[in-house]
Amino acid sequence: MRIYIDTPFEERHKTALRKGIPDDELIFKEELPGAEAQLQALLTADILLGNPKPVEWLEQAINLKWVQLYSTGFEYYSHIKIPAVITNMQDYYSQPCAETIVAGILALYRGIDLCTRLKDQGRWIGYTIRSEFGTLFQKKVIILGWGNIGRRVATILKGFNCDIIIYSRSSGEAHIHDIEELKPQLPEADIVISCLPGSAQTRGMFTEEMIHLMKPTAIFCNVGRGNLLRNEQALINALHQKKLGGAVLDVTAQEPIPDGHPLWSTPNTILTQHSGGGSSTEYDGIAGFFMQNLDAFKKGNPLKNQIQFDRGY
Amino acid sequence: MRIYIDTPFEERHKTALRKGIPDDELIFKEELPGAEAQLQALLTADILLGNPKPVEWLEQAINLKWVQLYSTGFEYYSHIKIPAVITNMQDYYSQPCAETIVAGILALYRGIDLCTRLKDQGRWIGYTIRSEFGTLFQKKVIILGWGNIGRRVATILKGFNCDIIIYSRSSGEAHIHDIEELKPQLPEADIVISCLPGSAQTRGMFTEEMIHLMKPTAIFCNVGRGNLLRNEQALINALHQKKLGGAVLDVTAQEPIPDGHPLWSTPNTILTQHSGGGSSTEYDGIAGFFMQNLDAFKKGNPLKNQIQFDRGY
C-alpha cells in the first residue's frame, strides 16, 4: 500500500516508521520536490497520516481509504466529504493541555512569571513579593466543555479542592447547559477555563459582556480555540484596566501572534503559544498510534478514534 | 496586658488588631524610637506576637507569658529556655508552599519560564518549543518530610496520578526511613521534593553523591531549608552539565541570594525567593489567628499550635 505522510516527523520517527512498516511504500511530504509532487502523492495514496494543507487538497483525495490525522481538532475539514475512514488523536493531547493550563494558573497565583523575570535580572525581592500571591486551593472554577481536556483539568483541580462547575451543551454530567445559565455564574467564578473545540456554536461564544461579568481578581483561560472570544481586544483592555486578574492563553485569535501585537504587552498574562499539547515524546506517540491502527486496518478490524468530519466528533 | 508586636504588619492589620483588642496595650516595634526601646518593650511585655531578632533578645524575655511566632519554623530559637508558652503557625503556610513547589515543577515541564521570556521579547516560537516539554502525569516523586507541606504536596500530586514515595525518619506512613533506604530510590525518581524542616539531622543531609544518583532528567525541589544541601554548588554544576533536569528552589543556602551569585544564571531553575508561604491574605490570617489564641489565653483555655523550642515541634 502507498502511505502518504504529512506530519512534522524528525529522522528518528521516520526510521521507526520505516522499520515498523517494512512492506508498504512510505512517502514523506518533505522528501518530495514540490507542491505538485506532494498533491500527486496524496491523490494516489491508499492511506494518509497527517493534516494536509491547503484544505482543498483533501477534498480531492477520493482514493484514500483511511485518513489518520495527527491532531485532535479538525473543524477546518468539517465540510469535506470523502469516502475514507477518518481517525484522529482524540484524548492524546488532553493531559499536556490540562497541565499547561494549570501550570499557567499556578504561575499567576504563585508568581512564577515574576520570579523568572527577577532571576534573569539577578534581583532578589524576597519578602515583599509574598503579598501579591494567592492560592488555587478551594477556588471556584467554571470549565467550559466537558470533553477529554476538561475532564483532565477537573481531575487535577480536585487535588486543590476546587469547586468545579461544568458547562456543556450536551453532557448530562454538566451543571449548566446554555449561555443564559452561564452568565449568572460568571461573577462568582475565580477561574474560567475554556476547553471547547472549534465549531459554529463556540465561535465568538464568549462575548465582551461575559468578560465584564467576571470578577476583577478572576483568571480567564483558553486551551480550546482562539476564536471563542468574540472580541479579544476587550480581554486585553480588561487586563490592562485591572477589571480582570489574569489570563492563560494557549490559543489566540491570531496564531502566530504577530510582532507588536498588544497581547505581548498585556499584564498578568501567560501566553503558551499553542504548545499545550506538546511533549518531547509527542511524535513518538503519533507514530506508535498510527502503526497500531495500521495493523487493525490491515486485519480489517475497527480503527481506534474514528470520527466524521461533518458530524464534528 | 502589654502585647509587644514584632511582625511586619501593614496599617490595615494594625487597625484590625487595635479594633479587635481594645482593652490591652499594643506596642508595635516599628513605632518605637530605636533598638533600646524595642528591647525594653519586649522585656516588659506579657505577650509577644512575632519573631524578634537578634535571637538573644528572646533569651532574656523571662517575663513573657506567651509567645506567638508568626512563622512555622523556629530552629534558630531551639536553644532558648524561657517560661512562656510558645505557639507557632503550624499548617498555616503549607498550602501556599505546596502550590509554589508544584507551580515550579509544572513551569519546568510546560515551559512557563520559557514562555514568559518569549512574551517579554514579543517573540513567537510556537510549534518547535513543544518538543522540549513533558508532563507531571504518573511521575515518580520522592517527598522528603511527611509534615504538613509534604502531605499537601502529595494531595496535589494525586491529581496527576503520581507514584509517591515518602521519606520520613519518624512517620509510620513513610515508605523509607533513613538515608541508606533513600539512596537506591534516587536513580528511579523523576522528582525529589524536600519539605524537611531545619534541624541538626537535616542540615547537610542531601549530599553531592545523592545529587549524582538522580536521573539526568530529574527535578530537585526544596521548600524546606536551604541548608539541606551539603554542597549547593554541586547542584548548580549538575544543572549546568545537564546531569540534572531542573530545580525548583524556594529556599537556598544564602538568602537573600547575593548579586552575581551563580544560582541566578543556573539553567532550568525556578527561584521563588522564599516566597512559598506568601499570599495577599497572609498577615490578615496571622492577626486573626493571634486574636483567637488571645481569647483562649485570657479565658485560660489551651492555646492552639503549642510547641517547645528545645523539642523542635
From the first residue on, what is the mean pLDDT of each consecutive set of 10 residues in chain A (313 residues)?
Answer: 96 97 97 97 98 95 97 93 96 97 98 98 94 96 97 98 97 97 98 95 97 98 97 98 98 98 98 96 97 98 94 77
Using CA atoms, how far apart are residues A192 and A164, in angstroms rounded to an integer?
10
pLDDT tens digits, B197-233: 999 999 999 999 999 999 999 999 999 999 999 999 9
Taking the Cβ of residue A223 and every Cβ of chain B, the question of whether any pair is shorter than 8 Å is answered with no
Taking the Cβ of residue A253 and every Cβ of chain B, the question of whether any pair is shorter than 8 Å is answered with no
pLDDT, residue A310, reads: 82
With an 8 Å Cβ cutoff, are B133 and A278 in contact?
yes
Please say if the pLDDT value at position B312 is more than 80: no
Question: Least CA distance to A133: which residue of chain B?
Answer: B279
| Domains within chain B, CATH numbers bracketed | 2-92+279-307 (3.40.50.720), 93-271 (3.40.50.720)
Contacts of A91 in chain B (CB under 8 A): none
Q: What is the pTM of this model?
A: 0.95
Q: How far is CA A220 from CA A88, A89, A253, A290, B122, in A?
A: 28, 26, 15, 35, 21
Q: pLDDT confidence of B8, banded at 50, 70, 90?
A: very high
What is the mean predicted confidence (pLDDT) over B70-78? 93
Which chain B residues in 138-197 lie under 8 Å from chain A, judged by CB atoms? Answer: 155-160
